[in-house]
Amino acid sequence: MPDPARQPVPPCQIIGFGPAAISFLIAADRTGLLPDLLRAGLIIHEAEPDVDALLQRGINYDIVSNSAASDFLEGIRPDGAFAEALDRPLAALLRQTGDRPVPLQLVAAFEAELRQDVLRLVRRFPQSRIRFGRRILCLRSGPNDGPVEGPGITAIDEDGTETVSRRALLACGSIPVIPDALAGAAARHGVRLIHSERFLRPAGAATLPGDAGRIVVVGGSHSAFSILHKLLEETGGDRPAIDILHRAPIRRMHLSAAAARAAGEAFDPVADVCPASGRVFRFQGLYTRSRALYEQVRAGLHARVRLVEIASDKALDQAIAGAGLVIAGTGYRPRLPRLEDAGGRPLDPGTLTANCAIDARGRLCDGQGAPFDGLMGLGLGFGRRNTGIGEPSHAGAPVGINIFQGADGEALCRHLADQTTKDQRKAG
């Protein structure tokens, strides 16, 4: 028999109210899980003081999307909790753009509308709440002396307040990564170094000095070519010179092996082809505007731009010597609070290249792939293992709004639904 002194606890708390959290809620609505979560008591913690502050962060970049505009709509259930968003002007603009890229500032405004929809939805369920201005410093996983029998999660914020739930979803955003070798080389040569996170924001052009001299962009992915697009837009004529430094060969994405062969792309017919979609270099290759710009550079249409493949840290050091500015398109890692077990010992998540590893069900794992009780992750900086999505040669994480709202979000929903059913059986 359950102990009557123990009160029902929320099935889940979400750390963060940004794009990843919205993606999860859209997936939960589409799979039918959202009403149960709201009735049982869903808690969202957000470090920013209000929704207006959130608009300045997240996906509010001064570039276009890698995804098609329609991807931002296709995960939304037409008769679900977010249906009204599909009838508003911003959704109409996204729909009209179709399979073409879309300015991310437009997407950020659409996401802000969805966030307001969540606020209105949560007000209808007194058991659920959104806590603004709450920075979670620690998540403690495991049995505790509180109201949760068995595994549970205790979230501890800056003033020591503890919030207990069965499970927790980490959707708390990401922070830029600058490799040590790059930071050290820039320091040795006295070269100013910034990350794409800063440059690609709406006010990022202000970071360009008038006499920057040669500009070096480090990276060969979409981030690097988004940086290059903005540099070409913000600087005119034939100056400054721009070098794109990349270690791995730059690839292009193709919709099929036949298309890749027709384009002259070198690829392995097994390792470089996504079994789920048939696309070649689905997650390693450039597409849409970035691909077009890369092909223009290769064809010599931007004479001041050079593609420079580097093979070592020494070559990197030499390549940035004398530059006026270095912009790093070197990726992100998740912004994690401290993670610990019930005894206060730290939990060290495993990694999938630079990403924090999650298993096929969306659970955070240790370095051997064993999941931590009750901890889940979603969004940029998390890499889900063993999904069958993406080309086998891709060492990183599948990234995209259709992944977060689709396959990754649905995996989390299935896991939460299964675990909630088990919790109810134990309680009964």
Model confidence pLDDT, tens digit, residues 65-113: 888 899 999 999 999 999 999 999 999 999 999 989 999 999 999 999 9
Residue from 45, 25, 99, 26 nearest 69 by CA: 99
Map tokens 């001041």 to a residue.
304
DSSP 8-state symbol, 249: P
Q: Give dist(CA 123, CA 113) in Å, integer.
A: 16
Model confidence pLDDT, tens digit, residues 276-300: 899 999 989 998 899 999 999 999 9
Residues of the chain with pLDDT under 70: 1-8, 143-151, 212, 352-354, 424-425, 427-428
pLDDT of residue 5: 45
Q: What are the φ/ψ torsions at residue 141 (nearest 5 degrees)?
A: -110, 135
pLDDT of residue 403: 84
Q: Does pTM surpass 0.75? A: yes
- Which stretch of DSSP H or E encloses residue 42? strand 42-46
Q: Are 376 and 415 in contact (CB under 8 A)?
A: yes
pLDDT of residue 4: 42
Q: Give dist(CA 313, CA 315) in Å, integer.
A: 5
